[in-house]
Structure formats: structure tokens, C-alpha cells
Amino acid sequence: MRLVAFIVLLVIVSAPTTLYAADTTKLPAAADSEIDFVQNVQPILRKTCYSCHGAEEQEAGLRLDIRSRAFEGGDGGKVILPGKSAESRIVMMVAGLDEDAGIMPPEGEGTPLTPEQISILRAWIDQGAKWPDGVDDASQSSHWSFQPITRPRLPSVGDAAWMVNAIDAYILARLEKAKIAPSPEAPRSTLIRRVYLDLIGLPPTPEELNAFLSDESPDAYERMVERVFASPHYGERRGRQWLDLARYADSDGYEKDRARPHAWRYRNWVIDAINADIPYDQFSIQQLAGDLLADVATEQRVATGFHRNTLHNTEGGTDQEEDRVKKTVDRTNTVGTIWLGLTVGCAQCHRHKYDPLTQREYYQLYAFFNSIDEADIDAPLPADQERFLLAKQAFDAEHGKLQDVVTAYEKAKLAAAQQVWEKTALDTSVVWRDVEYKSAISKHGATLETQKDRSLLAKKTNTVADIYTIATTVMQPVTAVRLEVLPDDSLTKKGPGRANNGNFVLTTFRLQATSATGQDAPKEIALAAAKADFSQKDWDVAKAINEDSADGWAVNPEIGKRHVAVFELKEPVHFDGGTKLTFILDQNYEGETHNIGRFRLSFTSGKLPATLEGLPAIVGDALAVAADKRTAEQAKQVTDYFRTVDPELAKLNKIVSDHAKKAPKTSGVKAQTVSQRAEVRQTNIHIRGDFLAKGDSVSPRTPTVFHDLAPRSEQADRLDFAKWLFAEDNPLMARVTVNRIWQRFFGRGIVETVDDFGTQGELPSHPELLDWLATEFRQQDWSVKRIQRLIVTSRTYRQSAAYRPDLAEADPQNVLLARQQRRRVEAELIRDLSLAASGLLDTRLGGPSVRPPQPAEYSALTYANSAKWQVSKGGDAYRRGLYTFFQRTSPYPMLITFDSPDSTECCTQRTLSNTPLQALTLWNDPAFFECAQSFGWRVLNSVPLSADAEQTVADQGRYAFELSLARRPSEEELAAVVELYRAQLDWAEANEEAVAKIVGKQKPSAGASLEQLAAWIVVGRALLNLDEFITRE
């Protein structure tokens, strides 16, 4: 059909104007009223023409939604001739008067225009086709939420005394108009629990409850609210709500669903940022583009972890580019939902069906997020970092002092010590001189390569009983020779031998010598003694020079280290003109390849006995020169060497290096962050959303329906976009945000579709209130807390939630808020409430995710049991619900049972179900039963005993109510609880075994019995299952 339309239009548009000869008398006459383009014409074009001649498609090259293009016309020329409607082709076409072309829109593509509409179109053209500036559809929409926000005037109300703040004015005005009276204030006990649950997600303690109930000052409520706002648990409560939007989880999702050990670091940032009440613009910009801020701090990078909460597929065969595209799409859509309240994702495959967003614009938006790189960075927690820096400072000071001692010694005493040392240095240690290998031969074909340090490294063939023969020429007399065997990475266990255990056996070490200038055959040199730094048991180095050729020198188990053997000659050897020395290393160890892997040979002319270690030749030579005759270089060589052997300096240096080992360490905490690629990725439109079907390339741009972007440079980036969101003329961000804030306190938004402010969303129930709050939000420097304070202190908020028969017909959905709204609390809070009421809650803030106990069979349902659940120990088993490790493919069952989002995409509003599985969880989940046990114990042991036993039970019953519901029971309620207690006590006395199981590890205190404890546990378990217990009223 589209193709037909295209051809038809092509024919029409390409027909020359002059040949046009249709009967214009059949045209409806132009209307005689004054025509306004926006009011009268644009709606017709929008409805009839744009689908083929709009932003997405321009059949026959014609586009009618933009003034310039409309007047330009199509492939065949102009279609609108101002002042001449009868000659304007657009009129003839919509009238169906072109015999060749048929009618526009073509059959099946839309409804033909009525004669009235054609009259309007004609009149508009005849009146000059005035098309005002700035009304093009591509740049404007008449939809309410795209209009600028202005501060509305406060409505006047009849009962001004009811009002506390502006919110109440808007609410009351509507109610008065509907002739509905607001509800009375909720009881104080309800109010305090409501405020606690809404702001920190924890119940007030009986002490806090009673303090508030007995506070008679007029501002008792406001002061209570301030106290709650100041709690650090405030960040946890609002933080968890934000995590819903941020689709936070502790694993990747998909088949492999790998754990994300650093994800929690972002959660910490959220909690801290909220507790600091960082203004919402900063809060947002840091998450969206913290990495692009000037002088970016670690915390701002951590904030970008927001973008890392996407799913990530590591299943075999996954196309990595496809996965990256999916993440980018998710990032784009999530941002659209949170900050614009728009379902931008609808435009991923085609133009948005309902909102003014083209597919091109979608990918322009997408382009902002298309140059993200993922990076895990070191991100110590601020407090840890502060502690670290303090400790480091203290350490550095201490370390400096120790170094000063060294410096002082070097300045004051080192020279003197050197003089003393020099006097005896040549007498007490020999000088070992390296030799230059003339040849180095392996009998069995191993290669012996000279290394930089003048050692020889054996490679290749490694056969049994190799013999190495190394020849050299020396000029000085030889009194002893030295063999160093050295470790090397190329050797098994680093050697120094080539055996499988790193060992070697030198069965016989021989030395031959002759004159380097004469022709005499080398003579065997007699060796008088051998010593080594280490010899293997039964394999002493002396055995390398004895008669027995089966034994020898070995070094197991001191493997992988350097060892030294020195062989002293019976008589010094010296020939004028040089001595040709031949070393023969025989490794005739039976049956095994125990050859030396790496070694170095040297000799000395010094006095015997020769030390294993000695002076380097260069130092020895310098020392041989009198101190005042040495060259500067020689002097330095001596001094440098002395520094390495001076025992006093070594001692002082060791103190420094030992201290260095105690240097404070950074915490090792990492964070998932994003950064911007140096070279941006090119973005293309994905035709029909298929990432392989690349359409036009696009650059980052904001949709034309909105205010302009003000990029910092030519290429707009994420930071420009983030700042654009908070521009004065953004009509959506403030409205969407205050609406979401509002929803958390009344169960429904002023716009019920909190995630959709587009044309398919609901209209606001109180548009002026919404705009007032939006402007207030800006005026209050984007402080979410201040908006919340306004709401919580309003009269509207403080109303009772009780249903009213008179509202059943008038306002069944409670849209007008003539009362508060009861709501079951979120999954995490159900856990928190039970732990708090029972006294088990570990209130520590932040930190890595924890794994409270869960049924073992549950994680077995994941792919090949991939999600291992190591139950956390100690207090970590009793942390608040928001810290529970969230494994995407097998989330903690209790959370899912109570409608926690699956965290796969941005969740603006949780569903609230009411199921038998929830009942079973609260009754029987071991975690909740443990709460009941502890709760029972608290009730039994916290109430002072009264002389009257009846009275004691009643007091305990009241206390149980305060603990669980933060209120005092009615007589009827108390009677029901006491009755259950009595029945269970009777039962308990007859069921000793069961009682033992019920009380578990709890023990009654003095004066109380096991049976009483068991009875209170059963009662407590019932109270912790009450609808009211898990409901914020």
C-alpha cells in the first residue's frame, strides 16, 4: 500500500503545473473566517499527512511538518502557492480532483478530508498561508507536559485554618470544589509509624513512640519529623528507592549471571549522597557523567556506576557488540524514564507512535551513551581513605625520622667507619675476579650461553651425566676458584639445577692449567679444600674434589637460590704472560639428569683461606691504590661498595625497611565505573532496531521538541546532556521528579503513570500542584529532602487512611486525597521491620552485600547451580534487606515473593501483590521464625513483673503491640492476644518436647518459664504476620 501511495504521489508531483487541468469548480469554497495555522490547519496536516510526509518518511520528497520543507515542495515542485489555493496542488490532491493521481491520502493510508477541512485549507492558503515561527511539529508539541513550567498562583480555599502549607491549598481547593471534606488527622501513633516507615523504613521503638505520645508541645510533630530526617537510615530508605530506578543488582544476569563483587560501592555512594542531601542536579549529573567533570574526584567516578547496572551477557557465543548495543539501549531508555518520564525506547525500532520522538532522534540520544567504556577502578570509601591518609601522614612522619637517622649517620660517621674498614678490607676478604670464557662446552650438546651477568645458562639437551668444560685465560696468580650456581626462571623450580626438582649433583670439580703463551699440555691442578654456603645432607661440597666419582655436591632442599662453592688450590698457579685455566664440571650422577642449569666462575689471587663472598675486582683494585691517589671514580667505587657492607648502615637501613612494611594500606575496594572513549564511536540508526542494519550516521543531539542543548564544545557529550536536563526550560525533569517523590508518600503520583508523561500517560490530577512543586524544587536548590519535608509536614499527608463510605462513589481511587493511603511496605522493609521489632537488626550502614540464610534447594535452580550462596556470618546475617546480595537469575526468594523488582530494567513503581506464598514466608521462613523467637523473648523479658500475674500478661500484651505496631491495643485486641497467650500456655504445659523446639536457643530469664516463652513466641509470630505489621497506614 505504501508503495502504491509512493508511485501515485510520484506521478502527481512530477506532473508539470501548467498541464494541470482538473475541474476546480468542484472544489469546496474557501472558508470565509480567519484561519489560524496552529489552531485550524496544523491538526489536519498532522492527522492526515505526517505519517508519509513527516519526519520519518518523506514520500515523493515531500515533508509537511516543517515550514521550510512544506513550502519547498516535493520532488515535482511546490505544492502550496500562497494566495492561490485553487492552483496549489495540495488542495487538488486532498480533494481527489486529479484524475491521474487519485486522492490523498490514498485509500488505506488515512481518511479523506471533509469538505470543511478542504475549505479551511483553501482559506489558509488564500489568506497567504501564514505559518508562524516556531510552531513546526518537529520543534513543538501541544502536549501538556512539554509546556514550560510556570509558578501557579495559590488557590483560595474556604477552610484556610486546615492548611499547613501550599500543598494543602491545592488539595483542599479541589476537595472543596468536589464538596468533599478532608479526613481528620491520623492518630499520633499512626503518624509516627508512618513517618518512620516513609523516611527511614524502620519502626519507632516503644521509647520513641511514648516520648512522642507524651510530647505536648505544638511542634511535637515537626520536631519528630526532623529527628527522623536526621537519621543515617534515611539514606538507606531513599537509597533503595533510587536503586529500583538504577536497576541495581549484584550479578550480571543471563545464563552465567556472574557476581559483581564491586557493585555495592555504587550503592554506598547513593546512600552517602542522599544522607548529605546532595542537590538533585549534582546527584544526577555525577551519575550520568561524573567522569567528565573537571577535576573529577573518585566519588564522582563511583557515581557513574549507575551506568554499570545494566545486564551483561557472558554466555558462550554471545556477540559482544550486540551485548554492548543492548546495554547502550538500556542506558538510553533508563535515562529517558528517570529524567524525562518518557518511554523513549519505543522509538528504538521506529518513530514513537505517540510522542514527538523520531527514530533518528532516539539514536541521537543514544549517541550520548555510545562512547562509554567500562572500567573498574580503585575506590576506597571516603572514610577509609580519610583514615588511610591520616595513618599515612603519621606513618610518613615516623618514617621520615628513621630516614633522618640514616642520613645523619651517613653525614657524620660513615666516612670514619670507611677509613677503619679500609685498613683491613683487603686482608679480611678476597677479591673475586670474573673470568672471560674462551670456550664453554657441554659433552652432550647442551648450549652454555653467556649471560649479561657473566654467568652461563644451560639450554637444550639435558642428558644424564653431562660434563661442562670451560676454558679461560687469566693474567693474575690464582689461589682459589669460585663456582656460583644461580637460579633462573627457565629452570624447573628455578634451578639452579636442571633436574626435575631443581637440584644438581656436581660429582667432580677439576681444574687444569698451563701457560697461555707456551705449548705445554694443561696439567691437573691439585685442589686442597672446598667449602660452600650450603650442602645437601650427605652431599657435601668436599665430595666434589675427592677420589670417589659417584658422590658430589648437591643443594636440595635449598632450591631456587644462589649457592657458592670455593675451591682452594694447593699451590698458587701463575704463568708470566697469562695462565690458561680449564674448569671441568663433571655431573656423573647415575640415572638422572642432575646437571647444573646456570653458574658463574671466578678466581682470586688473594690470601687463603678465601671467603665465599668477597670484594668485586673493581673495588679490590681501587682499594689497592692508596686513598689519596685514587681517581674520583675509584673513590666513589670504594664508597659505594662500603655502603653495602657497613654493618651499622645496614642496621639503620633495616630499621627503615622494617618500618616500611608497616605502612598503612589502602582498603583495596574497587568500583564499577564508566569513562568516555578518547575517540567517540560513530552512531548509526539501527533500522528496525537491528544493530546490524545500519542506517544514517547521527551525532549526539537532544530531541527537537525540547529546549536547545548548549554543548561545551563542537561534539556534545554526556555531561552536556546531563546539564541540559537541568536547564531552566526543561519542562519535564522537575515535574517527573517531584511526581515520583510525591508517589512515595501517597501511593500514587499526581500523574499516575509515573514513568510516562507522554501523550499516552495519564493527565495530572492536580496540575497546578505539580507545577508548584516543580518550581519549588528548583527554588529549593533541587533539594529532595526539602520537598519531602513539605509533603510530610502538610495537613494532607497527616490525614487518616481510614476508608470512608462517602468516598466509595465520589472518589474510589482516592485521586483527590481526602484521606491517606494504606500501603503494604516493600519487600526489604518487611525484613527490616521483623528484625527491628525482634531486636535482631544489625544497623550498620553500607558495605558489601550480604547473604542471609536461604533455602539450599533454591539456588540449585540456577543454571548448573552457578549461584553459590555462602551464608554470611555474625551480624551480617541480620542486616537490612537492601544489603541482601541480589543474584539476578535467582534472587533472594523472600524479596521476590514480596514484589521486589527483578532489577533488569528501571522500575519506577513496584507492584504490590498479596499471595499465599507471602503468608507462608512470614509464617515459616526460618529467618522470620527466628525473629518471632527473639520477639517473644523481648516481650517476656522487657516488662517489669507486676504483683498481679494477670496484670503482667496484659502489660506484656501491650508491650508486644508497641514493639510490633507502635501503638497501644484496643481492649478487644488486647483480649484476643491475651486469650491466644493463655491457650498457648495451656498447650505448652502439655507439650514439653514441642516447647523445647519452639524456644530454640532462647532462654527465659529468672522468674519466667519455658512455657511462657513458647507462648509469647507463638503470639509474637502471629503479630509479626498481621496485615498492619507489614503495612504503612
Site for another protein in 253-272 (CB under 8 A): 253-255, 257
- Looking at the Cβ atoms of 456 and 1019, the one nearer to another protein is 1019
Q: List binders of another protein among 320-349 (CB under 8 A).
A: 337, 343, 346
Residue found under cell 508512618: 194
607 close to 430: Cβ distance less than 8 angstroms: yes
Q: Which residues contact 617 (CB under 8 A, 6 or more apart)?
A: 431, 432, 433, 434
Closest separation between CB of residue 452 and another protein, Å?
A: 39
Provide the minimum distance between the beta carbon of 1010 and another protein in the complex, in angstroms, as a whole number. Answer: 11
Nearest to another protein of 503, 956 (CB atom)? 956
Site for another protein in 901-930 (CB under 8 A): 902, 904-905, 911-921, 923-926, 929
Choosing from 860, 948, 1003, 1005, the residue that interacts with another protein (CB under 8 A) is 860
Contact status: 977 vs another protein (CB under 8 A): yes
Q: Minimum distance from CB of 797 to another protein (Å)?
A: 17
Among 135, 178, 389, 994, binds another protein (CB under 8 A): 994
CB of 805 to another protein, least distance (A): 8
Strand partners, 459: 447
**Is 647 in a helix, a strand, or coil?**
helix
Tell me the closest approach of the beta carbon of residue 799 to another protein, in angstroms: 13
Q: List CB contacts of 130: < 8 A, sequence separation 6 or more.
A: 37, 124
Q: Is 481 helix (H, G, I), strand (E, B) or coil?
A: strand
Provide the minimum distance between the beta carbon of 1020 and another protein in the complex, in angstroms, as a whole number.
10
Per-residue string for binding with another protein, 350-369, x by CB under 8 A? Answer: ----x---------------
Question: Minimum Å distance from CB 769 to another protein?
Answer: 21
CA distance 487 to 561: 5
* Lookup result for grid cell 518518511: 57
Report DSSP state, residue 161. G
Q: How far is the CB of 984 from another protein (least distance, A)?
A: 7
If DSSP codes are grouped into helix, strand and coil, which group holds residue 697? strand
Give whichever of 597 and 957 is closer to another protein, judged by the CB atom: 957
Chosen residue from 627, 861, 871, 945 binding another protein by CB under 8 A: 861
Q: Which of residues 779-808 bind another protein (CB under 8 A)?
A: 801-803, 805
CB of 773 to another protein, least distance (A): 22
Residues 6+ apart with CB under 8 A from 808: none
Residue whose CB is less far from another protein, 255 or 842: 255
Of the candidates 626, 864, 949, 1006, which one interacts with another protein according to CB under 8 A? 864
**Cα 519 from chain centroid (whole Å):** 80
Query: Which residue number, 41 or 827, has a Cβ lying nearer to another protein?
Result: 827
Q: Could you tell me the three cell numbers for 331?
A: 542506558
In the block, cell 500501603 appears at 823
Amino acid identity, position 126? D
133 grid coordinates = 515561527
Closest CA to 274 of 316, 306, 232, 245: 232
Q: What is the DSSP letter of 306?
A: G
State in angstroms the smallest separation of the CB of 332 from another protein.
Answer: 14
Distance CA 1, CA 5 (A): 6
DSSP 340-357: I---GGGGTTSS-SSSS-
Interior angle at CA 589, CA 586 and CA 590, nearest 5 = 135
Q: What is the DSSP string of 490-541?
A: TSGGG-SBSSTTS---B-EEEEEEEESSS-PPPEEPPEEEEEES--BTTB-G
Q: Is 655 exposed, middle or buried (0-12, 13-18, 19+ CB in 10 A)?
A: middle
Binding mask 36-65 for another protein (x = CB under 8 A): ------------------------------
The least CB distance from residue 1030 to another protein, in Å, is 9
- Which residues, 6 or more positions from 53, have their beta carbon under 8 angstroms from its beta carbon? 59, 62, 63, 64, 65
Burial class, 529, CB count within 10 angstroms (exposed 0-12 / middle 13-18 / buried 19+)? middle
In the bound complex, what is the minimum distance in angstroms from residue 853's beta carbon to another protein?
A: 12
Taking residue 672's Cβ as centre, other Cβ atoms within 10 Å add up to 24
- Angle (CA) 36-38-39 rounded to 5° is 65
DSSP character at residue 94: H
If the CB atoms of residues 676 and 904 are measured against another protein, the closer one turns out to be 904
Report in angstroms how near the CB of residue 378 gets to another protein at its nearest.
Answer: 32
CA distance 321 to 623: 68
601 or 1022, CB closer to another protein? 1022
Of 855, 868, 946, 951, the residue at the interface with another protein (CB under 8 A) is 855
475 binds another protein per the rule CB under 8 A: no
Residues 867-906 that bind another protein (CB under 8 A): 889-891, 893, 896-899, 902, 904-905
User: Assign residue 215 a region: left if phi > 0, alpha if psi is -120 to 50, beta otherwise?
Assistant: beta
660: how many CB neighbours lie within 10 A of its CB?
Answer: 12
Which burial class, exposed, middle or buried, applies to 422 when counting CB atoms under 10 A from its CB (0-12, 13-18, 19+)? middle
**Among residues 100, 315, 386, 729, the one that binds another protein under rule CB under 8 A:** 315
Number of residues engaging another protein in binding (CB under 8 A):
95
Interface pick for another protein out of 150, 760, 779, 1005 (rule CB under 8 A)? 760
Residues 275-314 that bind another protein (CB under 8 A): 311, 313
From candidates 239, 502, 1018, 1032, binder to another protein by CB under 8 A: 1018
Please identify, using beta-carbon distances, which residue of 598 and 1032 lies nearer to another protein.
1032
Q: What track of x and - describes contact with another protein for positions 688 through 707 (by CB under 8 A)?
A: --------------------
Amino acid at 287: Q
Compute the least distance from the CB of residue 1027 to another protein, in Å. 4
Residue 998 · residue 924 · CB < 8 Å: no
Nearer to another protein, 253 or 614 (CB): 253
* Distance of closest approach, residue 1012 Cβ to another protein, in angstroms: 15
Main-chain phi, psi angles of 893, to 5 degrees = -60, -40
Q: Which of residues 935-974 bind another protein (CB under 8 A)?
A: 970, 972-973
* φ, ψ of residue 987 in degrees (nearest 5): -60, -40
Q: For residues 960-997, b (16+ Cβ closer than 10 Å) or e, as one string?
A: bbbbbbbbbbeeeebeebbebbeebbeebeeeeeebee
- Residue 177 or residue 353: which is nearer to another protein going by CB? 353
Q: Which of residues 67-96 bind another protein (CB under 8 A)?
A: none
Grid cell 659433552 — which residue? 443
List the interface residues with another protein, window 737-756 (CB under 8 A): 753, 755-756
Q: How far is the CB of 965 from another protein (least distance, A)?
A: 10
CA distance 295 to 285: 14
If binding is defined by CB under 8 A, does position 976 make contact with another protein? yes
Q: Which is nearer to another protein, 711 or 893 (CB)?
A: 893
Region from 191-199, 455-463, 673-681, 851-859 binding another protein, contact rule CB under 8 A: 851-859
Which of 611/814 has CB closer to another protein? 814
Partners of 53 in the beta sheet?
58
Across the strands, what pairs with 698? 683
**Closest distance of CB 444 from another protein, Å:** 36
Chain residues 812-831 in contact with another protein, contact rule CB under 8 A: 812-814, 822, 824
**Residue with Cβ nearer another protein (534 or 858):** 858
- The stretch among 36-44, 614-622, 665-673, 853-861 that binds another protein (CB under 8 A) is 853-861
Q: How far is the CB of 888 from another protein (least distance, A)?
A: 8
